[in-house]
Amino acid sequence: MNIYLDNNATTKLSKDTLDKMIPYLTEHFGNASSQHSFGSAAAKGMNASRETISKILGVESKELFFTGSGVEGDNLAIRGVVKAYKNRGKHLITSSIEHPGVKETFADLEKEGFQVTYLPVDTNGLISISDLKNAITDETILISIMYANNEVGTIQPINEIGKIAKEHKIIFHCDAVQAVGKIPVNPKNDNIDILVFTAHKFHGPKGIGAMYIRSGVRIGKTITGGGQEGKLRPGTSNVAGMVGMAHALEQAVSSMNEHIIYESQLRDYFEAELLKSIPEIVFNAQKANRLPGTSSITFKYLEGESILLSLNYKGIAVSSGSACSSTELQPSHVLIAMGIPIEFAHGTIRFSLDFTNTKEEIDYVIITLKEIITRLREISPLWNNNMENKIK
Ligand SMILES: *Cc1c(COP(=O)(O)O)cnc(C)c1O
């Protein structure tokens, strides 16, 4: 058995998308900036991809810029806005549950003298609109709030945030890496000024991302070089990646509604069955409006690492906390911000399934998890202490 339940970390490139990319790695290998036929063949693929993605998002193709990844897009956006608008003020607002690509960028800017407000979240991972309103000052130049959280799946009230940002004439950057290709996203309707996303989270290739920047928003340059991507992200164009990204997004959007229904039913089945078979577990952000395939589960009195390794031994791939922080044994900042006690945060596993997973796989995971949790708890001093206290 090999079951992949880590689709929030990355997804498998679809065969169909790979087939669309291959000609741009072989015969159309030219540099899209070159003025000969090899260049124009590549440029054609690039332009068509930009066109396709813009149309899907309902934006102008001149408002769409390719990047190398989600993290790069977040950096270009945040650092670019700060560079262009710092004369207006030095206050920035974000949430306490952002991806490291955003979180660490703000930490860096704090060292440079910017003031950053980190909005708290409730037990479901939601920011509060009144907290946001209260945080705004005359000095605020940027609001950066993610669309959907990668660890627990919570979807933020993006439309309301966009309205407030617009009212106060503050730039709204949104890390929509977990949203684009999974749920409907329309940056113009939501007054998002900068939207960042990446192909490998929706079965496209790795190493290619994109950002929508509303016409009129100024972005200071953080990378200098040639004229590619409006001089914002110079470097020879990754045309095969762009073609793959556009095709993967087209595919994702064409079956999005069915996928949402399928994934949320499979996820709900998974959670309901686990609730019946394993005691002392908590489903995080279960009451929130969440991504259809994300399930964050705390197995009380256990270490997430040992659950992860036991599952891996049985051929099941999951993540403890987020992939980026799982090499350090720090509890996830997302779970801590949600008020989950440190010892329980350590016992949390993220299952991220998608339309590629089957009910048979989920049934195998349920049975295997029950065995693993029972065995680990038998040898867990924390669990045994807890049981003794209950009996007393
Ligand atoms: C995966 C992820 C990123 C990073 O995207 P990369 O293309 O891997 O750099 C950023 N934000 C969120 C919410 C993510 O889930």
331, 346 contact by CB (below 8 A): yes
pLDDT for residue 319: 96
Mean pLDDT of 120-133: 98
Q: Pick the residue with more confidence: 146 or 380?
A: 146
Pair of tokens at residue 151: 């660890």
For residue 169, report the phi and psi dihedrals to the nearest 5 degrees: 55, 45
Residue 5 pLDDT greater than 50, yes or no = yes
> pLDDT tens for residues 250-296?
999 999 999 999 999 999 999 999 999 999 999 999 999 999 999 99
Instruction: Say which range, 23-27, 215-219, 295-299, 376-380, has the weakest mean pLDDT.
Output: 376-380
Domain end, chosen from 254, 275, 307, is at 254
Whether 121 and 193 share a structural domain: yes
Q: What 3 state SS string does 161-173 have?
A: HHHHHHHCCCEEE
Whether 277 and 382 share a structural domain: yes
373 Cα to the center of ligand 1, angstroms? 30
Question: How far apart (Å, rounded) are the C-alpha atoms in residues 116 and 106?
Answer: 7
Cα within 13 Å of Cα(174), Cβ side: 29
> pLDDT tens for residues 317-362?
999 864 444 556 789 999 999 999 999 999 999 999 999 999 999 9
Q: Is 350 in the pocket of ligand 1 (CB under 6 A)?
A: no
Mean pLDDT of 369-380: 95
Task: Give the total number of structural domains in the chain.
Answer: 2
347 Cα to the center of ligand 1, angstroms? 23
Question: How far apart (Å, rounded) are the C-alpha atoms in residues 348 and 251?
Answer: 32
Pair of tokens at residue 86: 């710092």
pLDDT for residue 309: 96
Mean pLDDT of 199-217: 98
> pLDDT tens for residues 81-119?
999 999 999 999 999 999 999 999 999 999 999 999 999
Question: How far apart (Å, rounded) are the C-alpha atoms in residues 190 and 148?
Answer: 14
Whether 138 and 42 share a structural domain: yes
Whether 152 and 273 share a structural domain: no
Whether 250 and 273 share a structural domain: no
pLDDT for residue 323: 45
Domain end, chosen from 200, 230, 254, is at 254
Whether 164 and 303 share a structural domain: no
DSSP 361: H
Among 7, 103, 201, name the best residue to mutate to test ligand 1's pocket (greatest count of ligand atoms within 8 A of Cβ).
201
Of 176, 216, 234, nearest to 53 (Cα)?
176
CA nearest ligand 1 atom 15, residue: 150
74 Cα to the center of ligand 1, angstroms? 9
Whether 119 and 214 share a structural domain: yes
Cα within 13 Å of Cα(243), Cβ side: 23
CA nearest ligand 1 atom 4, residue: 70
Please provide the average confidence, as pLDDT, over all residues in the chain. 96
Whether 239 and 95 share a structural domain: yes
177 Cα to the center of ligand 1, angstroms? 6
Positive or negative, the CA dihedral 370, 376, 377, 382 is negative
Mean pLDDT of 24-34: 98
Pair of tokens at residue 343: 């010892």
Q: How far is CA 282 from CA 98, 155, 159, 201, 353, in A?
A: 22, 19, 29, 26, 18
Question: How far apart (Å, rounded) are the C-alpha atoms in residues 375 and 66?
Answer: 48
For residue 202, report the phi and psi dihedrals to the nearest 5 degrees: -130, 45
161, 132 contact by CB (below 8 A): yes
Whether 225 and 292 share a structural domain: no
CA nearest ligand 1 atom 6, residue: 70
pLDDT for residue 322: 47
* 198 sits in which H/E element: strand 194-198
Q: Is 49 in the pocket of ligand 1 (CB under 6 A)?
A: no
Question: How far apart (Å, rounded) are the C-alpha atoms in residues 244 and 254?
Answer: 15
- Supply the CATH number for residue 377's domain: 3.90.1150.10
Domain end, chosen from 202, 230, 254, is at 254
328 CB-near residues (< 8 Å, 6+ apart): none
Residues forming the active site:
324
Name the residue range of residue 175's domain.
15-254
pLDDT for residue 324: 47
Helix (H, G, I), strand (E, B) or coil at 101: helix
pLDDT for residue 294: 98
Question: How far apart (Å, rounded) are the C-alpha atoms in residues 162 and 157?
Answer: 9
Whether 75 and 87 share a structural domain: yes
Pair of tokens at residue 91: 């206050």
Residue 243 pLDDT greater than 70, yes or no = yes
Give strand pairing partners of 333.
Answer: none
Which stretches within 168-279 are classed as H helix? Answer: 239-254, 256-277
126, 156 contact by CB (below 8 A): yes
Mean pLDDT of 369-379: 96
- Supply the CATH number for residue 231's domain: 3.40.640.10
Whether 142 and 21 share a structural domain: yes
Whether 248 and 373 share a structural domain: no
56, 253 contact by CB (below 8 A): yes
pLDDT for residue 118: 98
Question: How far apart (Å, rounded) are the C-alpha atoms in residues 104 and 74?
Answer: 10
